[in-house]
Structure 1
Amino acid sequence: MAARRCEGHVNDVRRRPASRRAQGARRARLQSRRQSRDQRYGRFLGLTFLGTLVPGTGLIAAGRRRIGTTIVVLLCLALAATLAVVVLIPPSELASYGGDREMMFMLGGVLAVAAVAWLLVALGTHRVLEPEGLPASKRLAGAAVVIVAASVVVAPMAVGSRYAFTQRELIGNISSSGASHTTPELDTADPWADKPRLNVLFLGGDAGEGREGLRPDTQILASIDTETGATTMISLPRNLQGFPFPADSPLAELYPDGFDGSGDAGEWMLNAVYRNIPTQHPEVFEGVGDPGADANKWAVEGALGIEVDYFMMVDLAGFEAVVDALGGITVDVPRDIPYGNKSLPDGSCTEANGYIEQGEDQLLDGFHALWFARSRCGSDDYERMERQRCVMNAIVDEADPATLLSQYQSLANAAGDIITSDVPADMFPALIELMVKVQGQPLESLTLDDDFFASMGTTSSDPDYDELHARIVEILAAEPTGTETPADTPTDEAPEDTTEAAEQNTAAEASAERSTVTDTEARQSSDETTEGGTDGTEQSEESPSDDATDEPADEPVDTGAVC
């Protein structure tokens, strides 16, 4: 028995080293397999990430060479085509595509399809590369890699598709909604061929509390040089009276002596045309989409003596949303501007809720920007017109590409709710391309204020419209501020022709210089105003500066100096 126990002990001793060697070998094999699985899993994650960013590469690595190569080639062709479009097509023409509803529909659809296809290829790549037998945690990690990588490309495509469809809807909302007697017939292929200037009337509509109907108190005509984009903005006072209508307008027969009549003088001013004329003469506007706008365009044409091509109406009640979507606007506030109050029939004002403080580079949100543009207490209509132009310029300055892209959805929604126009939808591409030129030029302004009419020996209630027409034509024909005319450039014209042209230009400049209001005078007059008027609105008795008579009064001024 002792011998057997001794022999068994010896055998156990001999087996122990062999067992340890077997266990060590087994551990080594398990470690090697674990490392191999980790390597395969890391390779799976890497190829999945790459295959999601660059569709087709992951499929090639998984052995699906034919389909993977096809996808890579298609991707390269698409990128090359996109690069060619960006490089070869001028930026202004690219921008004009934003006004083409068909182009926006195609772009939105292409981006949506491309986003879905990209995501499907990414999921397919993940599926064919995924090793078998992965635990749930690692499979979840692989899916997360696909989601993160796909979001880098697919998310911008989805946003771009949404923006394209939103832009298409916006153009549809603000374009002409019906017939018009006053819109020009232009060739959309080359609309500015025979049109050196485009005149667009901007109306600020206010159908506020206590008001019957809509009265556009803000009326600014933007006259745009279609070749250069140089723009002159002419602000018309809402209390302009006695203006004629164009000879070819049906209103010329109805009002042969101009827009005038008995009763309340406030019902015969420029801001009353929009509501009153269509109400009094509905037969003239049968089938017209916006009768008030047609009547208002005819009124401005008769007052200024130039054609008005299109109008754009901005509902001031929704103006706040646009400014807020831009993140506010920055303006110079010439004095403390009250808000939250209103004028009374006796010329006084109710107590203000607060004040927009005087100062340069004041950032205003939508609420305060609206009051800055509309506040009447303590000022007259002309100062108000100056402030409204400041706001318009500030909006243009804030509308940089980065802001437009980041806030586009909010801006588009706000604009679609508050803007109407008679611009045909197929004219928006050309109009947007022209606006690109406008942004590169200084905006000049002309205010038809008391000093302007005083320089003609008249008032806004009884202007000399023949002289007004002549002055407007001279001003718009003058060389824009900031442009350079080569002095030594040889021409083929005869010397006498050159002399005659020079004399005409000198005469135009002299006539314009006779009646310009300088920025300093505009600020001085705004600080000296009082209230009270025949129509229940604010008027002022301005005290011109001592040297006011020596200064011109109707030459356009760069609005950058005012604002």
Structure 2
Amino acid sequence: MRGDRQVQRARRAQGARRARLQKRRQQRNQRYGRFIGLTALGSLIPGTGLIAAGKRRLGTTVLVILVALMILGLAVVVLIPPTELASYGGDRQMMLIVGTALAAGAVAWLLIALGTHRSLEPDGLPTGKRLAGALVVIVSASVVVAPMAVGSRYAFTQRELVGNISSSGASNTTPEVDTSDPWADKPRLNVLFLGGDAGEGRSGLRPDTQILASIDTHTGATTMISLPRNLQNFPFPEGTPLAAAYPNGFSGGGDAGEWMLNAVYANVPRDHPEVFEGVGDPGADATKWAVEGALGIDVDYFIMVDLAGFEAVVDALGGITVNVPRDIPWGNKSLPDGTCTEANGYIQQGDNQHLDGFQALWFARSRCGSDDYERMERQRCVMNAIVAKVDPATLLSQYQSLASAAGDIITSDVPADLFPALIELMVKVRTQPLESLTLDNEFFGSMGTTSADPDYDALHARVQEILTAPDDAATPDPGETGTPGDTTEATGQNADDAASDGSGAAIEHASDDADAEAEQPAEEPTEGATDEPAADEPVDAGSVC
């Protein structure tokens, strides 16, 4: 009997010990779960975990600072217009401040999360649970810290990009502007886009692509004027050193190819180095003066794109989409007799064709079977497609590769402190349709001249008329636009005929390119094709591309 009582007491004591151990285990689990939860919360919302750990004053201070910064950020987004916010991307000083602030914020956030973890961690935790707690800190904090770190990197990259592509030297042609209000006395901003390739087989750099973008600084409405590279006999603006050096316009003896618009970049600085002493890009300065003389309008800035690296930009964008008017050959060369070597392949004709960087470059530059004017049309197609592709989502996802590619291939004489205003203006440009004007055979024919010997007074008057026309008058009726007619392979006979009629459309110089060619005038539209708009009126490039 006595033994039974002892057994019962032992069993009750053992049960009590198991109950106490179970209770302690549950309390430890509850404490650990609370620790994990508060650690995650403190990593996501700095200050809350410190308050829970008993460090109320420190935690409250951190939380108040966080709320104040969030209110400040919200006020900036709400009160500052989006275009002005976008313009900060061109302010190198602002990008330095933003990049530094984001980097410092990310470090501070991570340190507070680690401090919260240490303050909340119960004593005596086994190694596995301590590591699990640290993992919670890393995962929770990274939700905020990683975007801040990426933002900091983007800010520093943007600052470097602006520095790389902005003016790197003196210039004879850039205007003096008040950067606080640069467009106050400038109703139109004229920017010359040059596309050149100084690669193997070329005699110096010759920008075969020259497109002037004339931008209404109030609305952002833009007219793109494509100049043929074989334009000749243009005057230089009065009062410039080159007007005195070439009193009869840019002309001379010898090979006619050395007196075309695309020859100015290399030849004028070579022949008149004294004019360009200390200038960062003498060829661009000379070309700006040449375009001013040809069109009769001021050219404010240039932007040069090295076409050899152009495909990297298109690839960074994920490719572009264009309408391909005919099968475009790639991998071949045009020969001096007007024939072409065999193509490696073709970019297939069709609407909404997706092109990668390699294909886009050939689509823009391919010469075989076309003349300069069709090629100019294709180049505008590519430019419009790039503008259409540069949306915020693409910029965010591909920014690093885009910035790297752009920094390597783009140069300009735009001052660094003008980039904020220029970016703000570009936001307006994206909301407007791009109109285009091609100075082709039909354009000059409508004035009774040719690109080899234009009437520059008439050209100046016509360009002024177009640029100052009301927006609704400058835009052609969509029903009047058509597609360019097909072109055929150039032949030596066609080239000779074109040269003999003085049009200048077929003039080409072998040193201009390893694949120099004799070109033919644009063919008449094929039978049944829709009527094209008047040659001297802007064309909505979207209707062509």
Fold shared per TM-score above 0.5: yes
1:319 aligns with 2:310: yes
Structure 1 residue 543: deviation in Å?
3.5
Q: Kindly indicate whether the alpha-carbon contact (under 8 Å) linking 1:528 and 1:542 is maintained by their aligned counterparts in 2.
A: no
1:480 aligns with 2:466: no
1:246 aligns with 2:228: no
Q: Give, in whole Å, the separation in 1 of the partners of 2:533 and 2:178.
A: 43
The residue aligned with 1:57 is: 48
Unaligned runs of 5+ in 2: 496-505, 509-515
Q: Kindly indicate whether the alpha-carbon contact (under 8 Å) linking 1:518 and 1:557 is maintained by their aligned counterparts in 2.
A: no
In structure 2, the residue corresponding to 1:445 is in which secondary structure?
A: strand
Q: Kindly indicate whether the alpha-carbon contact (under 8 Å) linking 2:207 and 2:265 is maintained by their aligned counterparts in 1.
A: yes
Q: Kindly indicate whether the alpha-carbon contact (under 8 Å) linking 1:529 and 1:540 is maintained by their aligned counterparts in 2.
A: no
The residue aligned with 2:156 is: 165
Q: State which of 166, 174, 181 in structure 2 corresponds to 1:175.
A: 166
Report Cα offsets for 1:521-554 as digits up to 9, x if no partner.
x511x43563543324342233324799996211
In structure 2, the residue corresponding to 1:387 is in which secondary structure?
A: helix
Report Cα offsets for 1:117-173 as digits up to 9, x if no partner.
000000000000000111111111101100110110000000000000000000000
Q: Give, in whole Å, the separation in 1 of the partners of 2:66 and 2:5.
A: 67
The residue aligned with 1:233 is: 224
Q: Kindly indicate whether the alpha-carbon contact (under 8 Å) linking 2:337 and 2:518 is maintained by their aligned counterparts in 1.
A: no
Q: Give, in whole Å, the separation in 2 of the partners of 1:211 and 1:395.
A: 27
* Cα distance change of structure 1 residues 550 and 383 upon mapping to structure 2, 3 Å threshold: closer
Q: Give, in whole Å, the separation in 2 of the partners of 1:157 and 1:215.
A: 44
In structure 1, the residue corresponding to 2:290 is in which secondary structure?
A: helix
TM-score by length of 1: 0.90
The residue aligned with 2:484 is: 523
TM-score by length of 2: 0.93
The residue aligned with 1:492 is: none
Q: Kindly indicate whether the alpha-carbon contact (under 8 Å) linking 1:250 and 1:284 is maintained by their aligned counterparts in 2.
A: yes
Structure 1 residue 12: deviation in Å?
3.1
Question: Which amino acid is 2:484 matched to?
Answer: R
The residue aligned with 1:498 is: none
The residue aligned with 1:488 is: none
Q: What root-mean-square deviation, in Å, do the aligned CA atoms of Structure 1 and Structure 2 show? A: 1.8
Q: State which of 523, 534, 555 in structure 1 corresponds to 2:507.
A: 534
Q: State which of 116, 121, 133 in structure 2 corresponds to 1:130.
A: 121
Q: How does 1:17-56 map to 2 (within 5 A)?
A: 17-56=8-47
Q: Give, in whole Å, the separation in 2 of the partners of 1:534 and 1:219.
A: 17
Q: Kindly indicate whether the alpha-carbon contact (under 8 Å) linking 1:517 and 1:552 is maintained by their aligned counterparts in 2.
A: no
Report Cα offsets for 1:377-407 as digits up to 9, x if no partner.
0111101000000000000111000000110
Q: How does 1:316-395 map to 2 (within 5 A)?
A: 316-395=307-386
Structure 1 residue 11: deviation in Å?
3.9
The residue aligned with 1:148 is: 139
Question: Which amino acid is 2:535 matched to?
Answer: A
Structure 1 residue 226: deviation in Å?
0.2
Q: Kindly indicate whether the alpha-carbon contact (under 8 Å) linking 1:517 and 1:551 is maintained by their aligned counterparts in 2.
A: no
- Identity fraction in percent: 75
In structure 2, the residue corresponding to 1:395 is in which secondary structure?
A: helix
In structure 2, the residue corresponding to 1:393 is in which secondary structure?
A: helix
Q: Give, in whole Å, the separation in 1 of the partners of 2:179 and 2:172.
A: 19
Q: Give, in whole Å, the separation in 2 of the partners of 1:300 and 1:86.
A: 42
Q: Kindly indicate whether the alpha-carbon contact (under 8 Å) linking 1:517 and 1:555 is maintained by their aligned counterparts in 2.
A: no
Larger Rg, first or second structure (1 or 2): 1
Question: Which amino acid is 1:556 matched to?
Answer: P
Question: Which amino acid is 1:542 matched to?
Answer: A
Report Cα offsets for 1:338-375 as digits up to 9, x if no partner.
00111011111111111000111111110000000000
* Cα distance change of structure 1 residues 559 and 480 upon mapping to structure 2, 3 Å threshold: same
Q: Kindly indicate whether the alpha-carbon contact (under 8 Å) linking 2:533 and 2:539 is maintained by their aligned counterparts in 1.
A: no
Q: Give, in whole Å, the separation in 2 of the partners of 1:115 and 1:429.
A: 26
Q: State which of 532, 541, 545 in structure 2 corresponds to 1:559.
A: 541
Q: How does 1:67-216 map to 2 (within 5 A)?
A: 67-216=58-207
Count how many residue pairs are aligned between Structure 1 and Structure 2.
522
Q: Kindly indicate whether the alpha-carbon contact (under 8 Å) linking 2:480 and 2:531 is maintained by their aligned counterparts in 1.
A: no
Structure 1 residue 416: deviation in Å?
0.3
Q: Give, in whole Å, the separation in 1 of the partners of 2:466 and 2:145.
A: 53
Structure 1 residue 297: deviation in Å?
0.1
Q: Give, in whole Å, the separation in 1 of the partners of 2:85 and 2:539.
A: 32
* Cα distance change of structure 1 residues 434 and 178 upon mapping to structure 2, 3 Å threshold: same
The residue aligned with 1:4 is: none
Q: Give, in whole Å, the separation in 2 of the partners of 1:215 and 1:541.
A: 21
Q: Give, in whole Å, the separation in 2 of the partners of 1:444 and 1:384.
A: 17
Q: Kindly indicate whether the alpha-carbon contact (under 8 Å) linking 2:480 and 2:532 is maintained by their aligned counterparts in 1.
A: no
Q: State which of 510, 523, 535 in structure 2 corresponds to 1:543.
A: 523
Structure 1 residue 205: deviation in Å?
1.1
Q: Kindly indicate whether the alpha-carbon contact (under 8 Å) linking 1:530 and 1:541 is maintained by their aligned counterparts in 2.
A: no
In structure 1, the residue corresponding to 2:484 is in which secondary structure?
A: helix
Q: Give, in whole Å, the separation in 2 of the partners of 1:264 and 1:127.
A: 81
Question: Which amino acid is 2:24 matched to?
Answer: R
Q: How does 1:256-335 map to 2 (within 5 A)?
A: 256-335=247-326
